Amino acid sequence: MLKQIVLSFALMVSVSSVAVEPPKLPRVMAWSAYNLGTTGYNQAVGIAKMFKDQHRVTLRVIPGKNDVSRLLPLMVNRVQFSANGVSTYFAQEGTFQFSGKRWGPQPLRIVMMSLGLSNQGIAVAANSGIKEIRGLVGKRVPYVLGAPALNVSTEAIMACGNVGWKDVIRVEFPGYVAMWNAMIAGQIDTAYATTVSGPTRRLEASPGGIRWLTMDHFDAACWQRVHGVAPYMMPNMAVRGAGISETQPHEGGTYPYPILTTLDRRDEAMVYAVTAAIDQGFEQFKNADPGSMGWQMSRQKFKWLVPYHPGAIRYFKTLGVWTEAAQEHQQRLLERQRVLAQAWNDLIAERAELVEEEERWSKAWLTQRANYLDAAGFDPIWRAP
């Protein structure tokens, strides 16, 4: 018995020593992130400050106004990581803006994610008279060009109230900040955001105030429609955000944001070091933004929709938090990416004449993608119209 206790203690010391080993980070790094003032940008800046203070690492955070402008620098190696949103999932799938000939399914990997105490929702002015999602019928709803993460999530939340794009007045914007500037100016009737995003505070402080529309957690039909559009959305009670508190929570949905994303080919030692540095430096940056609490190791979701990078998994194993179930899920996700890559490569070989015709190519790709995923036992979620 004493021998077992000594052995257990030795193992604990060994794991602890690995977990607190100073990460060997590059002296300079660059990440892409959401626009200035967003919670995604603010959280990345908080981590950058921690890197500077604790490791003397200069981390440059480059804001991008839409999904493509955040992921493109990653693909061309201008940045090593992207503090991205759910478009990480869209890019893996080769859907929406990533279905064109210049993109296709991408072999992306997750490093860590922020799953905080906030929600992803659509807000209206508190004095607007719009009390529920169904009240958006006939109202001005934004559509941000090049940002499927915003648009699909908006569509999913509207679907909860059985409202579609055909039921509203779609107003197009070039970026997230432009959308929120219009919302605060009263030029549109609703806008999508994380409840802790900076621009939402401006609406809260305006004469009209802010109200987040509810997604009833006990309405099974609502959530069936939501998941038919956005499988990444999950029910959540938010206690942080504009107009939200522990005594006045918001009943809605959420997904990880930001998601620290990299490529499958990124150096394993670098990813291990970044994962370790974020985890070990959590106490320093956790108050940098209301959403920064989401980086805590206990809030990581290891069975999500995109596989993790081996460097991150290696660190999780030193903590004993990476399970056999997580590994089985990981292998299934890697197989999905393999099927998607095969579908894309086969389409290029079979229908090369379509490559220069963007619209026909995208339609052919969505059909090919669905056929291959169906055959492999995966749910395509999205299909060609």
The pLDDT of residue 199 is above 60: yes
Rounded to an integer, the average pLDDT of 220-233 is 95
pLDDT of residue 315: 97
pLDDT of residue 3: 42
Whole-number average pLDDT of the chain: 92
pLDDT of residue 12: 45
Element (H, E) at 2: helix 2-19
Rounded to an integer, the average pLDDT of 312-335 is 98
> What does the buried/exposed string (b/e) look like for 207-226 if buried means 16 or more CB atoms within 10 Å of the residue's CB?
ebbbbbbbbbeeeeebbebb
The pLDDT of residue 7 is above 60: no
Provide the whole-model pTM: 0.84
How far apart are alpha carbons 154 and 170 in whole angstroms? 11
Confidence grade of residue 22 (pLDDT, cut at 50, 70, 90): low
Task: List CB contacts of 23: < 8 A, sequence separation 6 or more.
Answer: 55, 272, 273, 274, 276, 277, 280
Confidence grade of residue 356 (pLDDT, cut at 50, 70, 90): confident
The pLDDT of residue 18 is above 70: no
Q: Which CATH number fits domain 120-254: 3.40.190.10, 3.40.50.150, 3.40.190.80, 1.10.3720.10?
A: 3.40.190.10
pLDDT of residue 2: 41
pLDDT of residue 21: 57
Residue 311: both structure tokens together: 């460097």
Domain boundary assignment for the chain: 21-115+256-385, 120-254
Rounded to an integer, the average pLDDT of 318-332 is 98
The pLDDT of residue 359 is above 50: yes
Confidence grade of residue 19 (pLDDT, cut at 50, 70, 90): very low
The pLDDT of residue 131 is above 70: yes
How far apart are alpha carbons 296 and 116 in whole angstroms? 9
pLDDT of residue 97: 86
The pLDDT of residue 103 is above 50: yes
Rounded to an integer, the average pLDDT of 68-88 is 95
pLDDT of residue 351: 87
Task: List CB contacts of 327: < 8 A, sequence separation 6 or more.
Answer: none
Query: What are 248-303's pLDDT values in tens digits?
Result: 999 999 999 999 999 999 999 999 999 999 999 999 999 999 889 999 999 999 99
CATH 3.40.190.10 for domain 21-115+256-385, yes or no, is yes
The pLDDT of residue 1 is above 50: no
CB 275 within 8 A of CB 312: yes
Confidence grade of residue 172 (pLDDT, cut at 50, 70, 90): very high
Residue type, 331: Q
More confident residue, 5 or 221: 221
Rounded to an integer, the average pLDDT of 221-246 is 95
Confidence grade of residue 20 (pLDDT, cut at 50, 70, 90): very low
Task: List CB contacts of 114: < 8 A, sequence separation 6 or more.
Answer: 43, 256, 257, 258, 259, 291, 292, 294, 295, 299
Same topology for domains 21-115+256-385 and 120-254, yes or no? yes
The pLDDT of residue 157 is above 50: yes
Confidence grade of residue 23 (pLDDT, cut at 50, 70, 90): confident
Cα 48 to Cα 111, 278, 354: the distances in Å are 16, 10, 44
Nearest CA to 276 out of 265, 268, 264 is that of 268
pLDDT of residue 5: 41
Beta strand segments in the chain, E: 28-33, 58-63, 81-84, 108-113, 120-124, 140-144, 169-173, 191-194, 211-212, 234-238, 250-254, 259-263
Confidence grade of residue 11 (pLDDT, cut at 50, 70, 90): very low
How far apart are alpha carbons 337 and 263 in whole angstroms? 13
Residue 256 β-bridge partners: none
